């Protein structure tokens, strides 16, 4: 069993930065792939970024490439999402997710993730 708690969301002006954190409990964190998804009002949940268990491979949605960076610290059981050059269209609830993913194609699929956090709101004003 893995529990995930996100933090770091808030209100920021366009062009600003935020860093989200996702703290995990459970002994299997270091063997899990981790992903961030987001959901804006009236829209479906969408993939943002993911990282494999070692941190050696990362996957980004085209909309955030070059602006967002995912990283993880297995010793601290935490995954981070550094978000720079934020845009109003980045406004959403951001969710952290975990799963024992081994297939590259599965990282972008929300249905492949087993555990989810409660979400943290990110609002970018124009």
pLDDT per residue as tens digits for the range 23-75: 999 878 888 999 999 999 999 999 999 999 999 999 999 999 999 999 999 99
Burial of 112 (0-12, 13-18, 19+ CB in 10 A): middle
Distance CA 62, CA 81 (A): 16
Whether the Cβ atoms of residue 22 and residue 5 lie closer than 8 Å to each other: yes
Residue from 116, 108, 117, 6 nearest 57 by CA? 108
Which DSSP state fits 15? T
pLDDT tens for 62-110 read 999 999 999 999 999 999 999 999 999 999 999 999 999 888 899 999 9
């Amino acid at each position: 069993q893995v529990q995930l708690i996100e933090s770091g969301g808030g209100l920021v002006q366009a062009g600003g930065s935020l860093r989200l954190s996702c703290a995990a409990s459970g002994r299997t964190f270091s063997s899990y792939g981790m992903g961030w998804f987001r959901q804006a009002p009236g829209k479906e949940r969408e993939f943002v970024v993911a990282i494999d268990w070692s941190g050696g491979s990362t996957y980004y949605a085209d909309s955030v490439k070059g602006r967002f960076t995912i990283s993880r610290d297995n010793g601290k059981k935490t995954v981070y999402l550094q978000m720079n050059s934020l845009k109003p269209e980045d406004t959403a609830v951001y969710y952290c997710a975990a799963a024992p993913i081994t297939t590259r194609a599965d990282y972008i699929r929300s249905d492949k993730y087993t555990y989810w956090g409660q979400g943290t709101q990110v609002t970018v004003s124009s």
